[in-house]
């Protein structure tokens, strides 16, 4: 099983979020009547409403009503599909943060590696590892995302 990505953001209409990520990531609803989970060849996406154990994450992005969206990558992707899936996910998160006034959020890989973050009143920031060809940016495939946000060190969770 791969390490999931977790998107922490203020609570929002799940129908709208489902439609957004379905379109951006090429997904369909697992159960037609429910907005989540979503599935496709490249991603499995689901949500959950956290309890008080997540108060640190909620405080970091300045919200009292946190929504958590998890993304698990498909198991059988070849190299190009794998890189494209990441480009699409990172692009979808960056674009949502950039296009929604006052929206805060962060995308975390695993339990603590913060990759993308927008704090209250701030710009969307990308961790330097997203620009590193020896890390997430193999073959410079993330260049389109890097042009849409600033690269700066981000504090990991933990």
133 pLDDT band (50/70/90 cuts)?
A: very high
Instruction: Copy the structure tokens of residue 28.
Output: 């369909």
Q: What is the mean pLDDT of the chain?
A: 95
Decide: 94 and 149 in contact? Cβ < 8 Å: yes
| Domain extent at residue 13 | 5-151
Q: Which helix (H) or strand (E) holds 94?
A: helix 79-99
pLDDT tens digits, residue range 21-67? 999 999 999 999 999 999 999 999 999 888 888 999 999 999 999 99
For the chain, what's the residue count? 158
Residue 6 reports pLDDT greater than 60: yes
Residue 101 reports pLDDT greater than 70: yes
**Is 138 inside any structural domain?**
yes
Instruction: Copy the structure tokens of residue 42.
Output: 């490249």
- Mean pLDDT for the stretch of residues 126-152: 95
**Is 18 inside any structural domain?**
yes
**Is 158 inside any structural domain?**
no
Rounded CA separation 126/156 (Å): 12
Decide: 69 and 21 in contact? Cβ < 8 Å: yes
Count the domains in the chain.
Answer: 1
The predicted structure's pLDDT at residue 1: 56
């Amino acid at each position: 099983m791969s390490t999931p990505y977790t998107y922490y953001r203020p609570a929002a209409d799940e129908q709208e979020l489902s439609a957004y990520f379905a379109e951006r990531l090429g997904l369909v609803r697992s159960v037609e009547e429910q907005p989540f989970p979503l599935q496709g060849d490249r991603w499995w996406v689901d949500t959950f409403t956290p309890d008080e154990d997540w108060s640190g994450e909620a405080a970091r992005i300045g919200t009292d009503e946190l929504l958590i969206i998890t993304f698990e990558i498909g198991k059988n992707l070849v190299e190009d599909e794998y890189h494209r899936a990441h480009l699409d996910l990172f692009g979808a998160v960056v674009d949502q943060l950039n296009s929604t006034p006052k929206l805060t959020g962060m995308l975390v890989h695993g339990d603590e590696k913060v990759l993308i973050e927008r704090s209250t009143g701030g710009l969307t920031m990308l961790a330097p590892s997203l620009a590193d060809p020896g890390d997430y940016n193999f073959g410079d495939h993330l260049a389109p995302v890097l042009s849409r946000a600033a690269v700066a060190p981000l504090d990991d969770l933990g």
